Amino acid sequence: MENMVEVLKEKVEKVVKKLYDLKLPEKAKFEIPKNKSYGDASTNISFLLAKTLRKNPKDIAQEIAGKLQEDEIFEKVEVINNFINVKYSPKYYSYLLSEINKPYFFLEGVKEISLKGKIQYEYVSANPTGPLHLGHARGAIIGDVLTTILKRAKEHLSLDYQLDREFYINDAGRQVKLLTASVLLRIFTLDKNDLSWEELITSLKDNEEFLNYLKEIGITLEELKEEGYRGDYIKEIAQEYLKNYKKINISDLEKFSLNWALNNIKKDLKDLGVEFDIFFSEKSLYEGKDFKEALDLLKPYIYEKEGALWLKTSLFGDDKDRVLRKSNGDWTYFAGDIAYHYSKLKRGYTKIINIWGHDHHGYVKRLKIATFLLDCLLNNKNPEEEFKNIKNIDNYQKLNVILVQLVKLFRNGQEVKMSKRKGTFVTLRELLNEVGKDAIRFIFLTKSHETPLDFDIELAKKEANENPVYYVKYAHARIASILRKAKNEFDLDWNLDRFNPEILNEEEKNLLKNLFFAKEIIKRTIQKQAPHLIPYYLLDLASAFHKYYSSCKILGNEKELTINRLILISAIKKVLKELLDILKVNAPEKM
RNA sequence: GGGCCCGUAGCUCAGCUGGAUAGAGCAGGGGACUUCUAAUCCCCAGGUCGGGGGUUCGAAUCCCUCCGGGCCCGCCA
């Protein structure tokens, strides 16, 4: 009785063999029908056999159904629209209930995918130059939910893959210099609160001490004016720096600023419920051997032209070759990323998943090619030969990039253009304070990552109480309330061995099946990397419960019936709570 | 010009490994609280699934093409 769909498949397989001496066609589908009135499991087998047998699908369906009917395991077998539909026997409901009552039973959905090896998810990876904003939050939440499922599944079921969650800190390069320069500017102008950005810059254009420091950082006044970070947090860093250090030292200032920004990010992530195992520093790539080793390895595919170093990505389907080192001697971001992915391979990851904003999609191909090259070369394989096998770099599956569509921000219906440099962006922190973690996580998850997310701040604040998350929470709180009453006022207890599926009505049986479906939802969530399936399922389940609640009085006069209903709703409560827990959304006992 | 994603109800979106009558929330109209929490439920209205072609017993789903929208296309990060 593992799974009713599987059972049906086995039985049909035998019948087809017996009746027609045929194997099951590959395309034969055994599934849970979307429309519940069609039964508990169904198959389209008659359509697929029609051609080979040169028979009417209807007759085939009837013949098979007739045979299936002889089997006691099915309570009912019918043919509707030439689909064969079967209904579970009561015994199966006992099985469902006992399964559902295992802790986090739905995590078994992960087991069915049979993951193995060493898996890494990398997400968020924001520049440590300022607070996180809403765009970061989306990737963060998606990464967090996917990895939470995998982590928990591994723990609960002792599955034999490994999983690491990584944050890549871009703590090298120009944006760090800009951050340092921006803080420096504020240190020199802490008393000038009423001046605009341009005025601040102008006020220092003849300040020799300032200009010398700026030179040491390696940023010009013009660059600072155009590209400097303007947010208020820069002032905060400046003030904090002065509290900790007596005088200005550029190296200290840089470290302090980076640290401040990174700690700020970590705090935001923590409050959003997003966790990591590893914070990986870009700088460490240059300080260690990885950078050099990666480029040495790629040497056969690197050449010099017009004073720059190029990687021959065009050999593997890229539009053109890509620059690794600019003619001015600076390494490109691409070169750093190559070293970073070299490090991932060297650390033994067999499945690497990066979650990026969709605006980086043009970058996916070159990085996949570079990683593919490193992977081949590390394993002494000829990349060109290997490439013939996979034909297209898209088929290189060790590295996958999940592209998350951007978050568009609205305020009262007006789009707010976000710019981190100019400081005109709404921070995650602001939203956490005003809307709260639960609502942010839930709203962000109710859309597929392939769809842009329009987020209206005012609407989110104003309608906080009408948010879908409350609908689900309310279902949980309502059940909790009934259970309290059953215990305190009626002195009932609803032990599982008192479960009697015979007395359940159709609606109640459907609820039970619906609960069991959580396992399938988790399986699909991981398979399709689509965490939005969970909130949709939760809304559906909550709706089914609310409907049931309003049509059926749980605490009735008949004790056995009442107890069975209590068993059912406490199972609903359990699934709601455990799935909300995966989303890291609180499930309240009272509202 | 090339690439990725999207186009489903007035709005925001699910459904897309092909299946049975295309779903939900919000907005609109109408009902249900002396009864376990009305943050709820029920009913009504609203659709040529962007257009056209193809594959198939069967297409919102797969393929082609056109139209419309977003994002990207640097020796930026």
Nucleotide nearest to A449 (CA to C1'): B5
Pairing of β A399-404 and β A351-357: parallel
Per residue in A324-347, pLDDT tens? 999 999 999 999 999 999 999 999
Neighbour order of strands in the sheet with A83-88? A30-31, A41-43, A83-88, A74-80
Q: Please tell me the distance from the alpha carbon of residue A465 to that of residue A111, in angstroms, as a whole number.
A: 37
- Does A456 score more than 80 pLDDT? no
Neighbours of A568 (CB within 10 A): 24
Q: For chain A, percent helix, then strand, then coil, each to nearest 5? A: 60, 15, 30
Chain A 243-282 contacts with nucleic strand B (CB below 7 A): none
How far in angstroms lies nucleotide B26's C1' from the CA of residue A400? 36
Residue A394 CA to residue A364 CA, distance in Å, equals 9
- A96-147 pLDDT, tens digit per residue, is 999 999 999 999 999 988 899 999 999 999 899 999 988 899 999 999 999 9
Q: Residue A404 CA to B56 C1' — how many Å?
A: 34
Query: Which of the residue ranges A19-33, A163-177, A205-219 would you say has the lowest mean pLDDT?
Result: A19-33
In window 32-51 of A, residues with CB < 7 A from nucleic chain B are 33-35, 37-38, 42, 44, 47-48, 50-51
Residue A467, pLDDT score = 80
Mean pLDDT of A428-439: 89
Distance in angstroms (rounded) separating the CA atoms of residues A429 and A412: 20
Q: A78: helix, coil or strand?
A: strand
Q: Which nucleotide, over all strands, has the C1' atom closest to the CA of A555?
A: B36
Residue A306 beta carbon within 7 A of nucleic strand B: yes
pLDDT of residue A236: 95
Sign of the dihedral through C-alpha A404, A405, A409, A412: negative
**pLDDT exceeds cutoff 50 at A361:** yes
In angstroms, how far is the first alpha carbon of chain A from the final one?
39
In degrees, rounded to 5, the angle at the alpha carbon of residue A31 between the alpha carbons of residues A25 and A37 is 130
Higher-pLDDT residue of A419, A241: A241
Going A197 to A203 to A205 to A207, the CA torsion angle's sign is negative
Q: Is A407 in contact with A417 (CB distance < 8 Å)?
A: no
Residue type, A10: E
8-state DSSP, A22: -
The overall average pLDDT reported for chain A is 91
* Nucleotide in closest CA–C1' contact with A477: B37
Question: Quick one: pLDDT at residue A1?
Answer: 45
Give me the phi and psi of A40, to 5 degrees please: -100, -25
The predicted model gives A295-300 an average pLDDT of: 96
Confidence bin at A386 (pLDDT 50/70/90): very high
The CA angle A285-A288-A289, to the nearest 5 degrees, is 95
Answer yes or no: is A95 CB < 7 A from strand B: no
Look at the block and give the residue holding tokens 């009135």. A37
CA atoms lying within 13 Å on the CB side of residue A80: 14
For residue A483, what pLDDT is reported? 96
Q: What is the pLDDT of residue A193?
A: 83
Spanning CA of A446 to C1' of B13, the rounded length in angstroms is 8
CA A552 – CA A544 distance, rounded (Å): 12
Which nucleotides of strand B come closer than 7 angstroms to any CB of the protein? 2-6, 12-15, 17, 19-21, 24-26, 35-42, 57-58, 70-77
DSSP for residue A382: -
